[in-house]
Structure 1
């Protein structure tokens, strides 16, 4: 993960962040899968890819600041680019879907500076929407520790839980149903501010 922030005074900042995941696998399937225009049969060996790029833009307002504490709220957008593909190498067929999902969110965040250049921090981002035959939600929770090399650069380690789900009868022209993407695990990140 990488992020960059620009501070407009002490209370307002804008942050841009990026996080990417690349997953590939193969499996002999136990049930028929219909994906896009292709059908993958029982006992067929398939190869899959699941690549996700998450871009986040946030406008932060720090409503409480003390020498050790900063509490704030944010309004932002997650722009998630999914590249999902399935292939059956023996039959030389494949199907791929590339979908971009922009999701706005609200967030609360806190930082506690406990020793010189060390601080603990966390954030909770949430959004939920129901419209017509579609509904979706985003939950992104992060808690971690940062070390600042200088006033504008630092390194951090965090634990992150990310859950994006969409249910629809018409996600795209070729794809309908339920989509859920969950990730939880450690993050190492670089923080740069101006």
Structure 2
């Protein structure tokens, strides 16, 4: 879904580009208007976990996707970024990163319960074989305004939204139980059978940021941005940090190469509730913590 949305946005930007080009001669301001499309890869050193329930104590504890489920913690992943600069100081940007991973664990090392997924609890016991997928798409849309400008620099502020589309899939020998109204059932005496557990959620996080660009040598530019936001509202509690430092060099009229280093950290907790005997009862908070740190490389085309 997120991929289709990104492609639609790219098509809209492209049509806008064609329109602007057809009116280039009649609109002097179009001389400073510019689109830039970056296609690249980034090297992600990932760390992710989810909150689960102990079948022995009923307490919550985090379980690590990389350590317990054997998902790759280091990999190369694609990203796309589209920027539209217009009227000298205004910028609209959209970027998308895809972080899809899966792995097999032939023997889980600890018991845990995946609680309240479609009204059911799922027990995974020590020794069970488990195939795990964690698919995360991150879409960022924002607007920036250059507050300070010079012949070779610009500094501005941005406002936007990061949206994470998260899907976790567990396949294997998994026990199923439906807790009683007191939520005290811990999946006792459950017969484990082949099962697929698929859980998805969307986490939008608005953000505020600052960015800067500086041409330190002809054809060479340094750029940086930092974005942050924290929210605790209704059933969502989350925080976001996004910092990037990079260098761009022009290789011909429309083409550039970019190299950057990115630190990205997001922590999302969504309160979950289930209906029991006409009562709305709170269950555990669905928590996903995710971060990646690493270099990014892209080819940029300006038009």
**Which consecutive residues of structure 1, in runs of 5 or more, have no partner in the other structure?**
none
8 Å CA contact 1:65, 1:71 repeated in 2: yes
| Structure ranking higher in strand proportion | 1
CA distance in 2, matches of 1:172, 1:83: 20
CA distance in 2, matches of 1:172, 1:119: 53
Q: CA deviation at 1:23?
A: 1.2
Q: Residues 25-174 of structure 1: matches in 2 within 5 Å? A: 25-27=103-105, 28-35=107-114, 36=117, 37=120, 38-88=122-172, 91-132=193-234, 134-149=236-251, 153-170=255-272
Q: 1:183 aligns with which of 272, 280, 292?
A: 292
How many equivalent residue pairs? 194
1:6 paired with 2:84, answer yes
8 Å CA contact 1:3, 1:191 repeated in 2: no
Most deviating of 37-46 and 69-78: 37-46
Q: TM-score scaled to structure 2, two decimals?
A: 0.58
CA distance in 2, matches of 1:5, 1:152: 14
| Structure ranking higher in helix proportion | 2
8 Å CA contact 1:59, 1:74 repeated in 2: yes
8 Å CA contact 2:92, 2:144 repeated in 1: yes
CA distance in 1, matches of 2:227, 2:302: 21
**Which consecutive residues of structure 2, in runs of 5 or more, have no partner in the other structure?**
1-78, 175-192, 276-282
Superposed CA offset, 1:74-116 (max 9, x none): 0001121112111116942111122222211001111121122
Q: CA deviation at 1:177?
A: 3.3
Match of 2:84, SS state, is strand
CA distance in 2, matches of 1:172, 1:74: 38
Superposed CA offset, 1:26-64 (max 9, x none): 223222232233221112121111111111111010111
CA distance in 1, matches of 2:195, 2:284: 17
Larger Rg over CA atoms: 2
CA distance in 2, matches of 1:104, 1:171: 24
Q: CA deviation at 1:11?
A: 0.6
8 Å CA contact 1:138, 1:163 repeated in 2: yes
CA distance in 2, matches of 1:118, 1:32: 54
CA distance in 2, matches of 1:71, 1:159: 19
